[in-house]
Amino acid sequence: MAVFVQRADFDVSAEIAKLTGGATNIGAVATFIGKVRGETDGVALQSMSLEHYPGMTEGELARIEATATQRFNLSASCIIHRVGTLLPGDNIVLVITCAPHRRDALAACDFLMDYLKTDAPFWKKEVTARGDGAWVDARTTDASARERWSKF
């Protein structure tokens, strides 16, 4: 179980190897990678900057991960979220979940992303040809995506 907030890119294969190396109880690995889209509302995106709340972010990610570990049968997991200036096509976030079986790995990965999007203190600002950066508004669909987990 690990969380990282970093400027540097991540290597998905290397991160999977770190989680699964030597483990014999892992039968399934699920990954989610969030990336920077090259357009926003039909306008070309030049760059995106990601700000976070140092100290709180790491705590929230660890709390979210601990919740997923209690809820699903997970063998290992990791969350890496980038901050700083990113360009279209760049990686933003990586979630890896390892479990004895497929459903736990897939569901936990989905759960982690839903909680990350509503609880982890990150903010995106988009720079387009229109000029100055604009802060991205939170989507109400993110809150409803998180809410669906409370029904189970």
Partner 1 sequence: MTETSGQRDITFRYFAWVREKIGRSEERVSVPNSVKTVADLVAWMQTRGDGYADAFAKPAVIRTAIDHRHVQTTALIDGAREIGFFPPVTGG
Q: Judged by CB, which is closer to partner 1: 50, or 105?
A: 50
Q: Do residues 20 and 29 touch, judged by C-beta distance below 8 A? A: yes
Q: Any contact of residue 34 with partner 1 (CB under 8 A)? A: yes
Q: Closest distance between partner 1 and the C-beta of residue 110, in Å?
A: 12
Q: Which helix or strand (DSSP H or E) is residue 66 part of?
A: helix 56-71
- For the segment 74-133, give every residue that binds partner 1 (CB under 8 A): 81, 92-93, 113, 116-125
Most distant CA pair in the chain, distance = 53
Pick the closest to residue 112 from 132, 97, 125, 98 (CA basis): 97
Q: Any contact of residue 135 with partner 1 (CB under 8 A)? A: yes
Q: Do residues 75 and 98 touch, judged by C-beta distance below 8 A? A: yes
Q: Closest distance between partner 1 and the C-beta of residue 21, in Å?
A: 27
Collect all residues with Cβ–Cβ distance below 8 Å to 85 and sequence separation of at least 6. 47, 48, 49
Q: Any contact of residue 67 with partner 1 (CB under 8 A)? A: no
> Where does this chain touch partner 1 (CB under 8 A) — which range of 6-14, 36-44, 53-61, 101-109?
53-61
Q: Closest distance between partner 1 and the C-beta of residue 27, in Å?
A: 27
Q: How far, CA to CA in Å, does 142 sit from each of 49, 95, 111?
A: 20, 17, 12
Q: Judged by CB, which is closer to partner 1: 88, or 121?
A: 121
The binding site for partner 1 (CB under 8 A) comprises: 34, 50-53, 55-56, 59-60, 81, 92-93, 113, 116-125, 135-138
